[in-house]
Each structure stands twice: as structure tokens, then as C-alpha cells.
Structure 1
Amino acid sequence: MKKNIFIPILFLSVMMTACSGGTHVETTASQAETTVAKTTTEVPTTEETTKQAEVIQEETHAEDDIQYYRGRKEDSVYTNEVFNIKFDAPANNYKMESRDNIAQMRDIFIKQAGMTQEEADESIYMDLYATSENGTGVSNVNVVIEKMGTPFETETELENVVAKLQEQYKASGMVNVSVESAKAMFNGRETIAMSATDTSGDYTVYRKQIYIKSGNFMAIITASSTSEEKAQKCLDAFTSLK
């Protein structure tokens, strides 16, 4: 049975930041220093949500090859027709990370997750990584495509992995970590989300993660910034294709 590697996915987004050349974030489990701009207070961009939320679901496809679920990049614009998302980096003052840097950090992730190269090629792909403000990394977003062994759809199912993910963070050496199941707005739709924060000194990094499901595949979108409102704004930079 294929190993479900969802638990390390949020940690993968942390490692990717270290490779971007912008904000410094730990690259090994022994490093826990994070340097970003100080958190500011902004007017939230999220809408008031209801008590229940589910994962965003798009059309299910019969294809079992992860390559089918990857998006395309052209002139720094990312589109993914399967998951109905578009990210225009220049229009939102973002800079896309190079394929070489993404591949380098993916290799580190594969080793830390205890996966073989074959398992990784069949089940996980970093499809997009971009940083804000001309690549300085103050805010960043990434899209990971994963073939899920046991994909979740509800808040309750997501809550079941929160404790394990918090353990993963602490085991990696991160400090003052908080991981919670939550809700978020994405392209005008309410969805389940994972919220996480970690603090070093006077600085706190906020991460918000949402999921779009198509059959046994998911697009996992992680936004990171210096406040919860800014992390939501990173998500707001995505638009739909339909």
C-alpha cells in the first residue's frame, strides 16, 4: 500500500522558502531560526464562514498518472485545468522560483520523508513556488500535487491529522509551533484549511493550507506570510479558470 505522505507536506513548504534566496528559514531539523518582517495588523480579507466546511472538489478524472494533474507555466503565469486554478505571478508582484531550486528542495524532502525516488515520482510533485515583492520572500505560495492514499474531505477528517502534524513540526526542531484545523475562503468558496504558526524571537510565520480534490489526487496550496491576513491574501492571488 502506498505511503500517505500528507503529514510532511506543510514542512516541505518551509524547506522551500530556505532555497528561494529570500527570507531565511531553517534547512535542517537542527535549525529553528526564522527571519521575516515584523507582523503587522491588517483588515482581514476573509469572509465570515459557516460552522461546516468541506474540501473543494473538482471533476474526477480516470487518469492515474500524476503527470496528468500537473499545471503549466507560461510567462510566469501558472494554470492548472484539472484543479481549476490560475496564479499570475507578475500581476501580483510575485517571482516564481526556478525549477532547479524546486528540484533541489524536493530531493531533500524525499530523503527526510524516507521515500524512494520511485515512490516520490509516482505520488508527489512540487508544481509551483513563488515569493512576493520581487522574490524577497516576505510572502510565498506553493502548490504541491499529491496522490493521496486516504484523501480527506471533511473538517473532522482533517482534525485527525492535526496532532500528528504538530508532532512533525516539533520533531524537526521548530519552536513555539501551533497547528490547527480551520476554514478559509478560496475563489469565493468556503473550504477546510490547515493553519500553522511558528515563532522565533519577535517574529512569527503564519501558514495557511487549503486542498482541492480530484479523485485520489489533491492540489495542496500553502500560503506563508507575516500575519494571518497576509497569508489569506496570498491565497486570494489565485483565480479560477472557469
Structure 2
Amino acid sequence: MKKNIFIPLLFLTVMMTACGGGNKTETTAESTQVESSAVETSTEVPTTEVLTTQAEVLKEETHVEDDIQYYRGRKEDSVYTNEVFNIKFDAPANNYKMESRDNIAQMRDIFIKQSGMSQEAADESIYMDVYATSENGTGVSNVNVVIEKMGTPFETETELEAVVAKLQEQYKAAGMVNVSVESAKAMFNGKETIAMSATDTTGDYTVYRKQIYIKSGNFMAIITASSISEEKAQKALDTFTTLK
């Protein structure tokens, strides 16, 4: 079955809305590092001045199977690791609390019903691997990782721009107001990558989201961070480190 990026992005919106609540919070951050062909390795902390004009998806070439279970990570003592996508998230070290597998499964079931996907199609193509909320506050500050099998993957900023308008329509269809969705760039420990940036306003506060993509074979790890400012959303992304 041919699939696209629209479903998982809406999935993330629904999940963050369900778990985030209506309060504000702050996040802590660590430096992170992943492989990318967009920017060369440097010992200095990059700034926006060194960004390239055409960001690309981060890539890890460690795939050996075409089964979504192979691409899922492990969670032990609230530390998430994924060897395929070379990422690590230490919840306690960053003052985050992980949602249980049962809670994530319940949210996923709600999404599947709302999206009209069959259980079989969902099981073959999409998993939320981890979802965590900051404990340094009382509300909206989340990070999550979704593993998605991509029938029509994108790899460049230009290709992501082509889906932005449709994504905004889907955000609004999900009941969100004052929605803005844009293709963007993000830094993942000094490496520039293609990204999606989204905001929505409910009541007297605005939620900012940053989303980046790491590709391996026909699969992507979709990492999303949300908080009460763009800067804090970027800092939430910085809670991810590499394994090697």
C-alpha cells in the first residue's frame, strides 16, 4: 500500500494535543550529534550563519530489513536507544517522564480509528516508539519518536515544501486553531537538517513544534519536540544524543 508523510504528522499533532494539556513548562537540553551530508563536522557550535541553502534529511545507512519491528528502539530505565537511527534519549537526565507503552498504545488506537486506517496497515507502517513530557514544569513540553515506513519519502527541503499546505489543512481538520505550518531547517547537534515547524494557539498560549527526520532504507525516524517557544522546542530536540 502506498503511503505518505501526511498521516504520521497528523498523528503527532493528535498525540501531543492529547498529552500536552493546557499549561506551560520549560525544558532542559544537552548537545547532540548525528550524521548529515548537509554540513561538515566542526568542533565549534554552529550558528545560523553557517547553514546551507538546501537542507537534507539526516541519513543512517544501517538498515538490513524491510520490517518496521527492526527499526524500533529499546527502552530501559527510562532511557531510549535506537541503534538503527543512532539516537538516544535519556529521560531522567533531561528531567523528562516517559509515557508507558500502554498509554502510547491507547493513543495510537484512537488515532487509527480517527484516521480510518486499518489495524493491519497501521501495524506495518507506523509506531510511536517513545513519548515523554518534561517534568520541569506542569504542561506543554513534549518529545516523541515515530517510526514510519515511507512509500513516498522525501529527502530535501524542496520536497517537504510540497506537503506543507496539505499538512496545514490536516492540522485545522483536527480542530486546531491559528495554525501555521512551514518547511524549515533545524540543528541537530551542529548538523543542519530538513525540518517542519508548526505553531497553533489555544486560549492565551501558543505551542511551537519542530520536527526532524532521519532516514534508513524505506523507513524514517520522525522526531518531534514541542514547547512554548521556538527556542525551547529546539532545546527539546537537543535532548537527543547519538550512540556512536
Q: Report if the CA contact (8 A) 2:25-2:141 is conserved.
A: no
Q: 1:211 aligns with which of 199, 207, 213?
A: 213
Cα offsets for 1:76-102 (capped at 9, x unmatched): 000000000000000000000011110
RMSD: 1.8
Alpha-carbon distance between aligned partners in 2 of 1:53 and 1:18, rounded to the nearest angstrom = 28
* Secondary structure of 1:8 counterpart: helix
Q: Residue 11 of structure 1: CA displacement? A: 2.7
Q: Report if the CA contact (8 A) 2:2-2:152 is conserved.
A: no
Counterpart of 1:17, as a letter, is M
Counterpart of 2:11, as a letter, is L
Q: Report if the CA contact (8 A) 1:131-1:140 is conserved.
A: yes
Percent of pairs with identical residues: 82
Q: 1:148 aligns with which of 135, 147, 150?
A: 150
Do residues 105 (structure 1) and 107 (structure 2) align?
A: yes
Alpha-carbon distance between aligned partners in 2 of 1:111 and 1:135, rounded to the nearest angstrom = 32
Q: 1:133 to 1:59 in 2, by over 3 A?
A: same
Q: Report if the CA contact (8 A) 1:71-1:78 is conserved.
A: yes
Aligned to 2:24: 37
* Secondary structure of 2:24 counterpart: coil
Q: Report if the CA contact (8 A) 1:147-1:218 is conserved.
A: yes
Aligned to 2:237: 235
Aligned to 2:71: 69
Counterpart of 2:24, as a letter, is A
Cα offsets for 1:115-141 (capped at 9, x unmatched): 111001111111000000268443100
Cα offsets for 1:50-100 (capped at 9, x unmatched): 222100010152301100000000100000000000000000000000111
* Secondary structure of 1:78 counterpart: strand
Alpha-carbon distance between aligned partners in 1 of 2:111 and 2:63, rounded to the nearest angstrom = 28
| Aligned pairs for 1:136-175 within 5 A | 136-175=138-177
Q: Residue 202 of structure 1: CA displacement? A: 1.8
Alpha-carbon distance between aligned partners in 1 of 2:13 and 2:232, rounded to the nearest angstrom = 16
Cα offsets for 1:149-185 (capped at 9, x unmatched): 0110001100011000000011122110000000000
Aligned residues: 224
* Secondary structure of 1:208 counterpart: strand
Q: Report if the CA contact (8 A) 1:70-1:80 is conserved.
A: yes
Q: Report if the CA contact (8 A) 2:177-2:202 is conserved.
A: yes
| Aligned pairs for 1:110-125 within 5 A | 110-125=112-127
Q: Structure 1: 5+ residue runs without aligned partners?
A: 25-34, 40-44
Could you list the runs of 4 or more consecutive aligned residues of structure 1 that deviate by over 6 angstroms after TM superposition?
none
* Secondary structure of 2:144 counterpart: strand
Alpha-carbon distance between aligned partners in 2 of 1:229 and 1:157, rounded to the nearest angstrom = 25
Q: Residue 36 of structure 1: CA displacement? A: 2.6
State the TM-score, normalized to the length of structure 1: 0.87
Q: Report if the CA contact (8 A) 2:25-2:134 is conserved.
A: no
Do residues 9 (structure 1) and 8 (structure 2) align?
A: yes
Alpha-carbon distance between aligned partners in 2 of 1:106 and 1:46, rounded to the nearest angstrom = 37
* Secondary structure of 2:195 counterpart: strand
Counterpart of 1:211, as a letter, is Y
Counterpart of 1:2, as a letter, is K
Q: Report if the CA contact (8 A) 2:184-2:195 is conserved.
A: yes
Aligned to 2:95: 93
Alpha-carbon distance between aligned partners in 1 of 2:174 and 2:16, rounded to the nearest angstrom = 15
Q: Report if the CA contact (8 A) 1:95-1:135 is conserved.
A: no
State the TM-score, normalized to the length of structure 2: 0.87
Q: Structure 2: 5+ residue runs without aligned partners?
A: 27-44
Q: Report if the CA contact (8 A) 1:94-1:135 is conserved.
A: no
